[in-house]
Amino acid sequence: MSHPKNSNTEAMSTQNDPSSKQPSPASREEPEPSCGNGSLPLWLIGMTGFALFSAGLYLGIFNGGFRGDIFNERDSSPALLFPEKSVPGALAGTGAATATSTESPVERGKKFYNNPPASCVTCHQPTGNGLAGSFPPLAGSEFVQGGSKRLGMILLKGLQGPIKVKGASFNGAMPAWEKVLSDKQIASILTYVRQEWGNKAGEITPDQIGAARKEFAGRTEPWAEADLLAVPADAELPGGTPAVAPVAQEPKK
Ligand code: HEC
């Protein structure tokens, strides 16, 4: 309560001030807390420090690139805590998709699709439908289900500018993956997206991605739609598996 100097109000305030008649609840219980050396317990300092440190660490790792358009805390940077060689060998460390030898290319591709460092899922979504106006669909996409050449080009070098997918227009940019993912990783991701969400297209092999890497080694820019359309829609990269019977079968007697 304030104590005005004005004499009229002083009389009133003295009357109404409960502290003048009886001790305030606070003064009955404990003394006012005061500043002083040693009054801040060590455990409190420690806990506050730990909380701030943890919050900073969390934000540093799970910042999602601070991008408002794609914020997703799963888009993390575990490499900060667990440095690893990412190109072009297999990935190790928490959070990053790792390949085991017993998995099929589709299973491997699914892991890479959904986890760093590829995290295609961030933009193209778990449904493969993308986001209208921002990220084109992979489900039912003519590029995904067409020839392997266009698809290999897109993945290795990225894509930017206006493009039509399934009749809908997009005008964004996808980064290049050639420095982030190995041939084997790209091949398994593509095999996965070609056979998920009702897509029905054949396997893509690491040899095919390797062939595309060589063929387009001199290309440093992302592709534009015109570059893709200049390549026949059904053009295949060399090194693919035969269209029929991709798995070696016992000859029948
Ligand atoms: C940062 C967001 C982002 C990520 C991550 C991303 N893409 Fe894309 N992708 C795009 C955008 C945007 C386009 C369209 C570019 C344009 O508008 O020219 C695109 C286009 C494509 C296309 C050609 C168009 C279509 O829909 O068929 C394919 C195929 C594709 N992406 C596959 C992938 C795969 C596979 C991955 C994971 C390795 C991936 N993308 C990761 C944003 C992303």
Q: Give domain status of residue 162, yes or no.
A: yes
Other CB atoms within 10 A of residue 80 CB: 11
d(CA 214, CA 96): 27
> With bands split at pLDDT 50, 70 and 90, how would you rate the model's confidence at 89?
very low
Residue 170 CB less than 6 A away from ligand 1: yes
- Tell me the best of 66, 87, 120 to mutate to test the pocket of ligand 1, counting ligand atoms within 8 Å of each CB and taking the most: 120
State how far the alpha carbon of 185 is from the alpha carbons of 20, 44, 195, in Å.
79, 48, 16
Q: What DSSP assignment string belongs to 104-159?
A: -HHHHHHHHHHSTTT-THHHH-TTS--BTTTB---TT-HHHHS-HHHHHHHHHH-E
Residue 137 CB less than 6 A away from ligand 1: yes
d(CA 76, CA 80): 9
Q: Give domain status of residue 30, yes or no.
A: no
Residue 143 CB less than 6 A away from ligand 1: yes
Task: Give me the phi and psi of 85, to 5 degrees please.
Answer: -85, 120
At 60 the pLDDT is 86
Q: Which two tokens stand for residue 202?
A: 């054949």
Place of tokens 């969390």: 58
Ligand 1 atom 18 nearest Cα: 160
Q: pLDDT digits over 178-205, tens only? A: 999 999 999 999 999 999 999 999 999 9
Q: Give domain status of residue 184, yes or no.
A: yes
Residue 124 CB less than 6 A away from ligand 1: yes
Q: pLDDT digits over 214-247, tens only? A: 999 999 999 999 999 999 999 999 998 765 544 5
At 223 the pLDDT is 97
Task: Give me the phi and psi of 161, to 5 degrees please.
Answer: 90, 180
Name the packing angle between helices 206-215 and 183-193 (round to 10°). 120
Least confident of 63-72, 81-90, 215-224: 81-90
Peptide bond before residue 33 is cis, with ω within 30 degrees of 0:
no
Average pLDDT, the chain: 81
Residue 189 CB less than 6 A away from ligand 1: yes
Q: What is the CA radius of gyration of the chain?
A: 31
> With bands split at pLDDT 50, 70 and 90, how would you rate the model's confidence at 6?
very low
CB 91 within 8 A of CB 97: yes
At 81 the pLDDT is 74
d(CA 248, CA 188): 18
CATH number for the domain harbouring residue 180? 1.10.760.10
- Greatest alpha-carbon pair distance for the chain in Å reads 117
Q: Which domain holds residue 168?
A: 61-229
Q: Give domain status of residue 172, yes or no.
A: yes
Q: Give domain status of residue 34, yes or no.
A: no
Higher pLDDT, 81 or 145: 145
Higher pLDDT, 107 or 93: 107
Q: What number is the average pLDDT over the span 149-153?
A: 97
Q: Give domain status of residue 9, yes or no.
A: no
Q: Give domain status of residue 157, yes or no.
A: yes
d(CA 132, CA 121): 15
Q: Give domain status of residue 247, yes or no.
A: no
